[in-house]
Structure 1
């Protein structure tokens, strides 16, 4: 259930709460193609829908964010206004105070003080994804691409602390570094406790004397980074490559996320691909098919000579071994498969017509003439 005032991300993507990550990715791609601004120029509703779709995907495609959303109905350090209250009035306590209170009331039956995850603990940065379009020849040879990747990077001015250089970072005096405070409220069922984000540090567990002027205390800034991505020889359409540590910067000194590259190989006018093999076509005349001949076949590594045996039939398939795509998991290449077509002339000279009639007569076959 979404938090009050928040839209249902599952409803926006049109998937159930049990949807797998692949289901979410498929729904996201379908909707972005439908509502992309380039496909709907000047359509404000489509633009707003496109933003909603991206917001929903950002949460549901991240396992940690999705888990928080499923549990609390919101994502982030601060819950939305009006979230989770009982409507009663009460007094605000720190996490340590609540631990002491329930420890005294129940004789330690709750295990003493309870602590949530440390908000200042290192956290890994988010993973990113980008698509690289390749020609079939680029996929054959392998290529290195320079990609411009928008991402959150560690602030260079403060080094990720969120404090202006020379300013000190302190433990929050309100929550004592936990990032949370608790409130005991009066309800029709008696007094109950509810937790909330510390209003002083906004869940960070620390305060600074002077906020960094570049990142405004967040510790990270959005920049466009140039990343060299090496696509291996033999890359196939839809292949997913991982570039380690090229995602968004971590928080509190945590490691960076990864960058995932999805390859999109465009069709080629000369060859079609099937697994590691390449397929092409050659046309020969009837005399060549009957008597045999040598033809030249284009490959990505130059021209190859191919012997056509005498008596070759239309539709026959021949092979040049090792002239297909490089194999990714093993050594060597696939094969080049050649489909033979017989080229029939649309017009004939008088001499050609006479010779063909003689051939037909010699072969004992009837013709229209």
Structure 2
């Protein structure tokens, strides 16, 4: 039976480059592999045909001979055994094409892993966050063994090459035509075995320890900010670099102030006499008390801004403000004499004088009246 044209087998043009050929072969191999087509008797033959075409067309010398003389030009180079007879191993071909799926190269040793990053949650008062502070923290972590310098082997000894994978860190398993690579189960992908482990770390190259670190918190940090301490995370395997430690900030709620970015907000209660006649009231800031002048006829909810009394940004250095919100406190536990005085005040502000003394109240009820009048029309 005459052989089909190799380009036709793979469905590529004669000018196809190696990348196109590899892609076409991968598609054919996935389609006709015997393990995926156990009920199709012809699948195995089509799979072998595609592999033979791939072997020839990806070899520059064989491809040149094939292009000039056809199948006769490559029969001698293949040793008369069809595909793979010239010393090419099918596992090499398949591993080359499917290396991105099954882990690639046959001599890939697993690299020692970098240490894990760690996170520490730090609680701060508002004053600490605004002014900055230095704090000591205790962090349980894995540290490099100081006895064996992270090698895991007892002093004076060294790890030996794994006899299962011969130091490659990978072993191959054949499943039909597939060659699958996986980490060596004997050395766990390291390529070496420690026969005489260090007494302190028991061959791990690192051990558990609680480290005490001093952390300098810059002024102006806020909840959600974090500080990176390079190399203060877990030690890496077999001397690999350590991870980092991230100190995550959380600022506790304050009894007086609420922070929003660089600004601070607080509510300032005043009596209705001070609100009506005006006056001065002491308000707190993070630097001490300051006098706030209250103009006459101040209403509840009015805002007063004190420039530069907020928080200095840790990033830009810009200074925020303190915003004071006024609310008028209603007097409680009044005596009968005080109640009578309030009644007299109420009477004097009512009647025709109401619009003058209570414009918002009068305006509100006039609006309510118009609303119900419109509903009844």
Taking structure 1 as the reference length, the TM-score comes to 0.62
Alignment match, 2:161: 171
Where 2:238 maps in the other structure, the secondary structure is coil
Per the alignment, do residues 151 and 116 of structure 1 end up closer, same or farther by CA in structure 2, a change over 3 Å counting? farther
Measure how far apart 1:308 and its partner are.
Answer: 1.0
Structure with the bigger percentage of helix: 2
User: Which residue of 205, 211, 215 corresponds with 1:229?
Assistant: 215
Contact residue 103 and residue 111 of structure 1 kept, 8 A: no
Measure how far apart 1:350 and its partner are.
Answer: 6.6
Alignment match, 1:133: 123
Measure how far apart 1:164 and its partner are.
Answer: 0.4
Structure 1 unaligned spans of 5+: 1-99
Measure how far apart 1:296 and its partner are.
Answer: 0.8
Q: Distance in 2 between matches of 1:294 and 1:304?
A: 10
Contact residue 140 and residue 234 of structure 1 kept, 8 A: yes
Contact residue 108 and residue 170 of structure 2 kept, 8 A: no
Q: Deviations over 1:149-179 (max 9, x none)?
A: 1111111111110100111233334322211
Q: Distance in 2 between matches of 1:198 and 1:176?
A: 10
Per the alignment, do residues 154 and 102 of structure 1 end up closer, same or farther by CA in structure 2, a change over 3 Å counting? farther
Measure how far apart 1:276 and its partner are.
Answer: 2.0
Is 1:262 the counterpart of 2:248? The answer is yes
Please list, as runs of the form range in 1=range in 2, the aligned pairs for 1:332-347 lying within 5 A after superposition. 332-347=318-333
Where 1:104 maps in the other structure, the secondary structure is coil
- Equivalenced residue count is 263
Structure 2 unaligned spans of 5+: 1-83, 98-103, 355-377
Contact residue 163 and residue 169 of structure 1 kept, 8 A: yes
Per the alignment, do residues 182 and 363 of structure 1 end up closer, same or farther by CA in structure 2, a change over 3 Å counting? closer
Per the alignment, do residues 194 and 111 of structure 1 end up closer, same or farther by CA in structure 2, a change over 3 Å counting? closer
Q: Highest Rg: 1 or 2? A: 2
Per the alignment, do residues 149 and 192 of structure 1 end up closer, same or farther by CA in structure 2, a change over 3 Å counting? same
Please list, as runs of the form range in 1=range in 2, the aligned pairs for 1:25-40 lying within 5 A after superposition. none
User: Which residue of 181, 199, 206 corresponds with 1:213?
Assistant: 199
Alignment match, 2:146: 156
Where 1:307 maps in the other structure, the secondary structure is strand
Alignment match, 1:272: 258
User: Which residue of 109, 118, 143 corresponds with 1:118?
Assistant: 109
User: Which residue of 84, 88, 104 corresponds with 1:104?
Assistant: 88
Is 1:323 the counterpart of 2:327? The answer is no
Measure how far apart 1:115 and its partner are.
Answer: 3.4
Is 1:253 the counterpart of 2:253? The answer is no
Q: Distance in 2 between matches of 1:101 and 1:136?
A: 77
Q: Distance in 2 between matches of 1:107 and 1:264?
A: 56
Taking structure 2 as the reference length, the TM-score comes to 0.61
Q: CA RMSD in A?
A: 3.2
Q: Deviations over 1:41-92 (max 9, x none)?
A: xxxxxxxxxxxxxxxxxxxxxxxxxxxxxxxxxxxxxxxxxxxxxxxxxxxx
Where 1:339 maps in the other structure, the secondary structure is strand
Measure how far apart 1:361 and its partner are.
Answer: 5.5
Measure how far apart 1:104 and its partner are.
Answer: 3.0
Per the alignment, do residues 235 and 281 of structure 1 end up closer, same or farther by CA in structure 2, a change over 3 Å counting? same
Alignment match, 1:287: 273
Contact residue 90 and residue 177 of structure 2 kept, 8 A: no
